[in-house]
Amino acid sequence: MKAPLRTLAELVRAPAALSVPGDVVAGAAAAGTLGARSAGLAAASVCLYWAGMAANDWADRDLDAVERPERPVPSGRVSAPVALGVAAGLTAAGLAVAGRAGGSRALSVALPLAAAVWAYDLRLKNTAAGPAGMAACRALDVLLGASGGNPVRALPAAATIAVHTYVVTVMSRHEVAGCPTPLLPAAALATTTAVAGVTAARGGLPAVLLAGQYAAGFGQAQTVLISDPAPARVRAAVGAGITALPALQGALTARAGRALAGLAVAAAVPVGRLLARRVSPT
């Protein structure tokens, strides 16, 4: 069974991949290794992210038949074996590209990252450990970018991205039924504000501006959610969290002394928002 490109784009949430290369760039900037090899590691990261999206839909095919029947697998536009094959193929491609771009040091991070992605989709997602599992995936993604240097220097950036990811993942669990209480989006908004503030601190003007862009883009959707916790608002807030992430990654990159690279990463924000109108990032 062959699937058209648009359907495959829906399967892997193609626009959401714009939120991925910035992990690698932020990690490489923090470790002082941002360069040509970072492009290859970013490509590997995108492959592993897309693999995770396809594996997610394969693993959730029965649940999605009830809650998300419009998705490619339950709607019949992509068969379950094809979704699994896409996930496996993209995983292999991601590992091969990581090894080619960064050698054994990159593979020493890419392999645990791939394992974490599959563990989340197959085991952790619907458990209490789910948000932490997804946050770990993003933290490892940042460390993949730092694999050519001293990864310890990238730990603060990895932790920052992990906190943001944890918030988005917790919110995503309420996309179908809506938030049961306004306390959840209020706590999420407070965390987002704190993340932006810590990132902007002593980071220079570019980092301050990009952190502000991140806080405004994600925070506005969370503010709306406090007064209207309907499922559609939750999905909008989750989407905002995904599309605003490059601004946070850009701020972290600028804080590491690579302002132009940070601005380039943040340029993905408007592109992601535009593409998200055509293919859902969630």
Run means of pLDDT, 10 residues per run, the chain, 282 residues: 80 91 98 96 98 95 91 93 97 98 97 98 94 98 96 97 97 91 93 96 93 96 93 93 96 97 96 82 74
| Residue 203, both tokens | 């980071």
For residue 213, the model assigns a pLDDT of 97
For 124, phi then psi, to 5°, come to -90, -25
Closest residue by Cα to residue 109 from 155, 177, 67, 70: 155
* The Cα angle at residue 134 between residues 226 and 159, in degrees rounded to 5: 85
The residues near 84 (Cβ < 8 Å, ≥ 6 apart) are 54, 55, 58
> Residue 276: its pLDDT value, please?
79
Q: Where are the alpha helices (DSSP H) in 60-176?
A: 61-67, 80-119, 130-145, 155-172
pTM of the model as a whole: 0.94
CATH number of the structural domain 9-276: 1.10.357.140
Please tell me the predicted confidence (pLDDT) of residue 1.
52
Domain regions of the chain by residue span: 9-276
Specify burial of residue 96 (Cβ count, 10 A radius: 0-12, 13-18, 19+).
middle
At residue 275, the pLDDT reads 84
